[in-house]
Amino acid sequence: MADSFRVSAVLPTSPQEVYDAWLDGDQHGAFTGAEAAIEPGIGGAFSAWDGYISGATLELDPPGRIVQAWRTTEFPLGSPDSRLEILLEEATEGTRITLVHTEIPEGQGPSYEKGWQDFYFAPMREYFRAHRG
Looking up residue 84, the CATH number of its domain turns out to be 3.30.530.20
Angle between helices 122-130 and 15-22 (to 10 degrees): 110
Domain that holds residue 51: 3-130
Tell me which residue of 14, 37, 17, 38 sits closest to 94, measured CA to CA: 14
Q: What is the mean pLDDT of residues 57-72?
A: 98
Q: What is the pLDDT of residue 131?
A: 85
**Contact status, residue 57 vs residue 43, Cβ threshold 8 Å:** yes
pLDDT, tens digit, for every residue of 19-64? 999 999 999 999 999 999 999 899 999 999 999 999 999 999 999 9
Query: For a pLDDT cut of 90, what percent of the chain falls above it?
Result: 96
Tell me which residue of 17, 25, 113, 118 sits closest to 64, measured CA to CA: 17
Count up the domains in the chain and report the number: 1
- Cβ atoms within 10 A of the Cβ of 119, count? 18
